[in-house]
Amino acid sequence: MKLRTFFYALAGGVLALLLVAAGGFFWIAANSPLALLQGGGQGSPAAAMFVPKQSPLMVSLLVNPDRLESFRLAIAPQSERRQARTEINQLKNSLLSSTGLDYKQDVQPWLGDEVTFAVTTPDFDRDDDNGAQVGYLVAIATQDPERSREFLQLFWQKRAIAGMDLVFEQYAGVKLIYSQPTPLPTPHSFTPTPQSSLATAVVGDRFVLFANHPKVLRDAINNVQAPGLSLSNSKAYQQALQRLPDSQIGLAFVSLPQLSQWLDGKDSVTETAAPYEDLVVALELDRQGLLAETALLTAPGEKLTPAKPALSKPVGALDFIPATSPLTAAGTNLQQFWNELSNSVMVYDRLSALVNQPLTELQAQWGIDLPEEVFSWVKDEYALALLPGADQSRPDWIFVAKKANGAAEAVDHLDAIAQQQGLSLGTLTLGDQQTSAWTKLSTTTTNRSNRKRKRDAEAVSLSAEVQGIHATVGSYEVLRPRLRQ
């Protein structure tokens, strides 16, 4: 063999090995659970074609749930993986508990990379006599059409054996299967109220559909055949998608007027013009949890003054928040943010109530007017977090704010409010940090035997229960309204 031929053969072998290695690397990287940090690979929900433009709400998971499970286990510490796996299995079992089906055997083999839930309409039959009949639709992508059809066959067989009457209907080339309930007359009307009737269909080789009434399924099929009806062809929806990143693993689209109508059971918009009409939220994975990016779309004719992003990096107030906090909110100028948020939703009665409910609960727990006595002086960085391990019935929060003009006076005012509520002020040393504490004094009485007087004597002891603390740490005010006992 000539030397040149030998080197050509050697170079070719090395190149082949490099190609195999590169291909193996990219295959491993693409199939690694951590690849979800770059997104699920699907930019937008394909099932939006089934959802009408007037839908109040659509929520989509754009990745196979098994990949999420693998990601959760991959980022969990070794000591917590067994607990994480147990929690995931419990969730799967709870979702299928009333169906008699097994996730691993009946669902996992065909489940694809998208699960979309939508509220299609606040009233699918538009009959005032029987009240609002909300339409619900679930679209699940299938990676094995044959297995998904077998799943539906088994699903309905179990119900037929249980005595349920089934209806098989061919609609626009799609086979619908649904149960046939007996409508019941309403107490004040002779018009029967349509009861919920689970309906299913397999559309092509892509999706398995579930709905709470066959009419909801028929409408979903109509939306595909007449694309102008579907959300996927909505101009507002397309504009919202353009404002979101490509790394999302989930997406939610909300029509604020329609959502308010659904929640209230009527058109509850006030005469005041609403500045925003649609909300879209993209969910991204992070090693520490979920990140949400949101975009609000203005109503037709509304114009907003362009503004630079308030933040280019995380605020320093987050340095005081535990990394394991299950819920954290941070930003700048809390007063301005709250005013804009409350003004934006005030035209929708129920949405306004939903936004104000957590605030009302915190105010009741802490005994203060948060917008007036806290938000008003927070004009710089802030962070609010739920502390890990907090009791769900009585959450434990921490609030951090960068000092600004009026901050010292505001904290003194909080001390005065605590005293008005019967609490005492004191100091505590936590590590090397001096803190102010709000304490509640209480007395307990115990009986002690007095041998000299041959009778029991009462001993009174005084104890202090810490209700909250606050401290100035550098340029930040840190408040914790209640210490975990």
Residues 344 and 252 in one domain: no
Residues 103 and 61 in one domain: yes
| pLDDT grade for 145, boundaries at 50, 70 and 90 | very high
Is the pTM higher than 0.95? The answer reads: no
In a domain, 68, yes or no: yes
Q: In this predicted model, what pLDDT tens digit does every residue of 183-227 receive, in sequence order? A: 555 555 445 555 567 899 999 899 999 999 999 999 999 999 987
Residues 341 and 454 in one domain: yes
Q: How many domains does the chain have?
A: 3
Q: What are the structure tokens assigned to 194, written together?
A: 């349509």
Residues 215 and 324 in one domain: no
| pLDDT grade for 428, boundaries at 50, 70 and 90 | confident
Instruction: Look at residue 159 and tell me whether its pLDDT is greater than 80.
Output: yes
Residues 127 and 163 in one domain: yes
Residues 246 and 334 in one domain: no
Q: What is the pLDDT of residue 33?
A: 56
Residues 341 and 289 in one domain: no
Residues 3 and 60 in one domain: no
Q: What are the structure tokens assigned to 222, written together?
A: 């109509």
**Structural domain harbouring 380:** 316-480
- Tokens 């297995």 label which residue? 147
Q: What is the pLDDT of residue 342?
A: 79
**Most confident of the ranges 261-265, 327-331, 437-441:** 327-331
In a domain, 66, yes or no: yes
Nearest to 379 by CA among 342, 345, 331: 331
Instruction: Look at residue 181 and tell me whether its pLDDT is greater than 80.
Output: no
End-to-end CA distance of the chain: 84
Q: How many Å apart are CA 461 and CA 442, to the nearest integer?
A: 8
Residue type, 99: T
| pLDDT grade for 117, boundaries at 50, 70 and 90 | very high
Q: What is the pLDDT of residue 114?
A: 92
Average pLDDT, the chain: 77
Residues 45 and 5 in one domain: no
Residues 7 and 55 in one domain: no
Instruction: Look at residue 298 and tell me whether its pLDDT is greater than 90.
Output: no
Residues 22 and 88 in one domain: no
Residues 114 and 18 in one domain: no
Q: What is the pLDDT of residue 14?
A: 43
Facing residues of 469 across strands? Answer: 437, 480
Instruction: Look at residue 6 and tell me whether its pLDDT is greater than 60.
Output: no
